[in-house]
């Protein structure tokens, strides 16, 4: 790949350089094209998934908000939003508290079997989700939590925990332990030390871990597919049904909303990462 | 240290116990053993050739009648049917027929109800499914079977499906990993060696799709690639293909590969980027000043330094790809399905949960090996998130 080196090397080979930039441009297009295409199509006045001639000529009447009206008025979509938020927020709260505690424990120098424990705590993230979902289906229905909100909250908490453990552990790696010693020497108890010294410093890591956990739950569909009844359907589950059964541009309206939401989450995480200086979320 | 305990317990109950339960199901199936205990006791002493004694007929007649009353006969019939086809209807029909019979000789009664009861194959099937612990599902998952005489052979040609599906999953995952590397390496390089402002902007183009819902991205590929979709419309409009020659780019393997490459590309770019960012540009300048051509400098100086990123990204993409379910299910059609889809099929449609568990167990073992490899090479605690 000589084209590559020309960018970093001092000798510029214009032709290779252009080929390299053109290739990169195509890859970036590949990355964002699906998002670029969904947003305008969600304003389609016709029930099609492709640009009508009117849309291409930018005629006002070719665009409409009918699909947005449809999802806002639809009982099922509204309920799925409530479910997604209930399950997502509950799972995030649980995962953040448990995950932060565990990360503090893991950071302790006397922690035995750290590698094994870390591996176990992170395992929900690397296990193929279809396998987790299958196991959870058996287990939660056998203890009477199949088709319940509580069952889904517990399942999503398990899936979100690794993200909290990883981000908080990374933040703690740059934490100066002398600060806790100083607090202790000034007479603060462990709880007070945690609240007044540690927590404010690791807060950005905790928050971004929480955001990751929320995003995981908010986007999760396989476990929901296996475990949820009609009453627990979340937004991704409703989209799944829409894609499989009655595909209508209303899905594109939901998708546009989710893209906006993703951008918000992304900016929140990036902002936290910058505040924290030590870049916990990215290696 | 004490702080870790609550989470460890929580993960143990909410995640590890379910996994254990699924693995248990793949080797443990008590349905037939619980329903036909006496019959199986008698069959235990039967030599497997000829017909079992009258006592076996008497026992199974009584136990089938009871199973019918307890509404478990359908489950029993389904289990035996997986070993020997035709058993489902035989069992339910016989159980129904036995209602009106009050006394024996039971062998004559049952053979009278269906001649199949006069064949050893039926009894062998009952005995085989009567074991509480069985390797049957694992044998089945690798296209093998155990014959009545206890020997293990390959399934007949038309029933071999899972091995080829596993190979397909492996090569598709490999192809996707390679595609991600080829597409991701140059852009990671561009981002890593751009001035900060531009680098941040370009990084956004990677991160926005990364944070966007998987279902949204999959929907987008349907919109782009389907026969009446945006890409085909463009191709027709510029005259590259005729209106009747629209390309089939989705609901097949192409759809699976394109959509999955898109979904997994950020997992390749981000580790590459973080490794490349740490490479000082003066190394390449030094190589050039020592007379290396750009190609040589790249091969001998730049590429070796990026290998940790290449390894981390490739392993991560590969691990994620072999477990993928949603994207192939939605855009893969019938030719673009992977092993996960088969697990889902047995969970939801065929209800052969033991086999689903065995396929899951094999996948889990494969992922575990890769996970350990990743831990050795990169370290799990450095698993990148964004």
Task: Give the contacts of B307 (CB within 8 A, at least 6 positions apart).
Answer: none
Q: Which domains does chain B have, with CATH numbers?
A: 25-134 (no CATH), 162-382 (1.10.3720.10)
B381 neighbourhood in chain A, CB within 8 Å: 118, 166, 169-170
| Enclosing H/E stretch for B153 | strand B152-154
Length of chain A in terms of residues written:
283
DSSP assigned state of A175: -
Q: Give the Cβ contact number of residue B31 at 10 Å.
A: 18
Tens digit of each residue's pLDDT (9 = 90 or more) over B273-314:
989 998 988 888 899 899 888 888 999 999 999 998 999 899
DSSP states of B97-112 as a string? HHTT-----HHHHHHH
Contact by Cβ (8 Å): A255, A272? no
Tens digit of each residue's pLDDT (9 = 90 or more) over B117-149:
888 888 888 888 888 898 889 998 999 888 767
Mean pLDDT of A179-183: 85
Please identify which residue in the block is written with the tokens 């399950």. Answer: A87
Between A137-141, A276-280, B194-198, the lowest mean confidence (pLDDT) is in A276-280
User: pLDDT band at B321, cuts 50/70/90?
Assistant: very high
Mean pLDDT of A99-110: 88
CATH architecture of A76-276: Orthogonal Bundle (1.10)
Backbone angles phi, psi at A143, to 5 degrees: -105, 15
- pLDDT at B384 exceeding the cut of 60: no
B21 contacts A131? CB cut-off 8 A: no
The CA-based diameter of chain B, rounded to the nearest angstrom, is: 101
> How many secondary structure helices (H) and strands (E) does chain B include?
21, 2
Mean pLDDT of A202-215: 92
Contact by Cβ (8 Å): B42, B56? yes
Mean pLDDT of B77-104: 84
A262 contacts B223? CB cut-off 8 A: no
A139 contacts B17? CB cut-off 8 A: yes
CA distances from A137 to B10, B26, B45, B190, B273 (A): 17, 14, 38, 45, 38
B287 to chain A, any CB pair closer than 8 A? The answer is yes
Residue B298's nearest CA partner among A20, A91, A195, A220 is: A20
A229 neighbourhood in chain B, CB within 8 Å: none
Tens digit of each residue's pLDDT (9 = 90 or more) over A30-57:
999 999 889 998 898 888 777 887 888 8
Residue A130's nearest CA partner among B205, B384, B343 is: B343
C-alpha to C-alpha distance for B180 and B263, rounded to whole angstroms? 10
Angle in degrees, CA B34, B38, B41, rounded to 5: 100
Q: Give the predicted TM-score (pTM) of the model.
A: 0.87
For residue A64, the distance in angstroms to the closest alpha carbon of chain B comes to: 19
Give the number of A-B residue pairs with CB atoms closer than 8 Å.
Answer: 310
Looking at residue A9, what is its pLDDT? 46
- pLDDT at A12 exceeding the cut of 60: no
For residue A279, the distance in angstroms to the closest alpha carbon of chain B comes to: 10
A21 to chain B, any CB pair closer than 8 A? The answer is yes
Average pLDDT, chain A: 86
Looking at residue A188, what is its pLDDT? 85
- pLDDT at A206 exceeding the cut of 70: yes
C-alpha to C-alpha distance for A128 and A143, rounded to whole angstroms? 23
Please indicate whether residue B104 or residue B367 has the higher confidence score (pLDDT): B367
Looking at residue B333, what is its pLDDT? 87
B381 contacts A169? CB cut-off 8 A: yes
Mean pLDDT of B73-88: 86
Average pLDDT, chain B: 89
State the Cα torsion A269-A270-A276-A279 to the nearest 10°: 110
Facing residues of A105 across strands? none
Task: Give the contacts of B19 (CB within 8 A, at least 6 positions apart).
Answer: A127, A131, A132, A135, B364
Where does A50-194 have alpha helices with state H? 53-56, 66-73, 75-107, 114-126, 129-142, 149-173, 178-185, 190-193
- pLDDT at A7 exceeding the cut of 60: no
- pLDDT at B71 exceeding the cut of 60: yes
DSSP assigned state of B228: T
Nearest residue on chain B to A36, alpha-carbon basis? B220
C-alpha to C-alpha distance for A120 and B8, rounded to whole angstroms? 8
For chain A, percent of residues with pLDDT exceeding 70:
92
Contact by Cβ (8 Å): B234, B314? no
Looking at residue A1, what is its pLDDT? 42
C-alpha to C-alpha distance for B266 and B208, rounded to whole angstroms? 10
Task: Supply A227's token pair.
Answer: 């475990």
- pLDDT at B63 exceeding the cut of 80: yes
Residue B279's nearest CA partner among B247, B253, B255, B304 is: B304
For chain B, percent of residues with pLDDT exceeding 70:
98
User: pLDDT band at A15, cuts 50/70/90?
Assistant: confident
3-state class percentages of chain B: helix first, strand second, coil last, to nearest 5: 75, 0, 25
Looking at residue B264, what is its pLDDT? 95
For residue B174, the distance in angstroms to the closest alpha carbon of chain A comes to: 16
B347 contacts A137? CB cut-off 8 A: yes
The residue among A128, A263, A276 with the most chain B CBs within 10 A of its CB, best to mutate, is: A128
For residue B220, the distance in angstroms to the closest alpha carbon of chain A comes to: 5
Q: Show which of residues 169-208 on chain A sit within 8 Å of chain B, judged by CB atoms.
A: 169-170
A99 contacts B381? CB cut-off 8 A: no
């Amino acid at each position: 790949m000589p084209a590559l080196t020309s960018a970093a090397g001092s000798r510029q080979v214009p032709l290779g350089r252009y080929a390299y930039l053109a290739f990169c441009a195509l890859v970036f297009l590949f990355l964002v094209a699906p998002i670029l295409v969904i947003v305008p199509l969600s304003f389609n006045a016709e029930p099609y998934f492709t640009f009508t001639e009117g849309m291409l000529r930018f005629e006002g009447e070719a665009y409409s908000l009918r699909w947005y009206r449809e999802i806002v008025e639809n009982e099922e979509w509204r309920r799925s939003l409530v479910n997604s938020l209930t399950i997502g927020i509950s799972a995030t709260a649980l995962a953040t508290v448990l995950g932060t505690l565990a990360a503090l424990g893991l950071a302790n120098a006397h922690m035995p079997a750290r590698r094994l424990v870390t591996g176990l705590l992170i395992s929900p993230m690397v296990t193929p989700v279809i396998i987790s979902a299958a196991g959870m289906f058996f287990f939660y229905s056998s203890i009477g939590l199949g088709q319940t909100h509580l069952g889904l909250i517990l399942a999503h908490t398990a899936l979100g925990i690794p993200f909290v453990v990883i981000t908080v552990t990374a933040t703690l790696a740059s934490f100066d332990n002398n600060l806790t010693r100083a607090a202790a020497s000034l007479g603060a108890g462990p709880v007070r030390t945690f609240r007044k010294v540690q927590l404010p410093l690791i807060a950005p890591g905790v928050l971004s871990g929480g955001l990751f956990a929320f995003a995981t739950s908010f986007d999760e569909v396989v476990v929901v597919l296996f475990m949820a009844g009609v009453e627990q359907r979340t937004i991704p589950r409703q989209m799944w049904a829409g894609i499989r059964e009655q595909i209508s541009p209303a899905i594109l309206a939901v998708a546009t909303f989710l893209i906006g939401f993703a951008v918000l989450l992304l900016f929140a995480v990036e902002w936290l990462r910058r505040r924290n200086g030590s870049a916990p979320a990215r290696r | 240290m004490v702080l870790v305990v609550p989470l460890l317990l929580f993960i143990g109950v909410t995640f590890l116990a379910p996994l254990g339960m699924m693995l248990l199901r793949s080797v443990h199936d008590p349905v037939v053993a619980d329903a036909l205990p006496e019959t199986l006791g008698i069959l235990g002493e039967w030599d497997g050739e000829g017909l079992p004694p009258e006592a076996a007929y008497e026992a199974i007649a009584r136990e089938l009648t009871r199973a019918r009353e307890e509404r478990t006969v359908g489950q029993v019939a389904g289990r035996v049917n997986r070993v020997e086809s035709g058993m489902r209807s035989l069992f339910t029909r016989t159980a129904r027929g036995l209602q009106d019979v009050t006394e024996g000789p039971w062998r004559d009664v049952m053979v009278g109800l269906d001649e199949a009861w006069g064949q050893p194959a039926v009894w062998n099937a009952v005995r085989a499914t009567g074991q509480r612990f069985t390797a049957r599902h694992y044998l089945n998952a690798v296209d093998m079977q155990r014959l009545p005489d206890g020997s293990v052979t390959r399934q007949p040609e038309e029933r071999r499906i899972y091995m080829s599906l596993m190979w397909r999953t492996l090569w598709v995952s490999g192809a996707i990993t390679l595609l991600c590397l080829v597409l991701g390496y140059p852009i990671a390089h561009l981002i890593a060696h751009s001035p900060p402002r531009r680098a941040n902007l370009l990084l956004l183009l990677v991160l926005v799709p990364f944070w966007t819902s998987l279902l949204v991205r999959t929907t987008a590929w349907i919109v782009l690639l389907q026969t009446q979709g945006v890409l085909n419309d463009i191709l027709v409009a510029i005259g590259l293909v005729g209106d009747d020659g629209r390309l089939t780019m989705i609901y097949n393997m192409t759809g699976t590969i394109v959509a999955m490459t898109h979904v997994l590309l950020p997992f390749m770019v981000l580790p590459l980027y973080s490794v490349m960012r740490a490479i000082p540009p003066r190394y390449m300048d030094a190589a050039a000043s020592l007379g290396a051509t750009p190609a040589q400098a790249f091969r001998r100086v730049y590429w070796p330094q990026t290998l940790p990123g290449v390894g981390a990204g490739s392993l991560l993409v590969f691990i994620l790809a072999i477990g993928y379910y949603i994207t192939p299910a939605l855009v893969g059609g019938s030719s673009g399905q992977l092993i996960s889809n088969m697990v889902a099929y047995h969970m939801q449609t065929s209800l052969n949960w033991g086999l689903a568990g065995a396929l899951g167990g094999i996948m889990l073992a494969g992922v575990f090996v890769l996970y350990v490899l990743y831990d050795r090479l990169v370290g799990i605690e450095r698993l990148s998130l964004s």
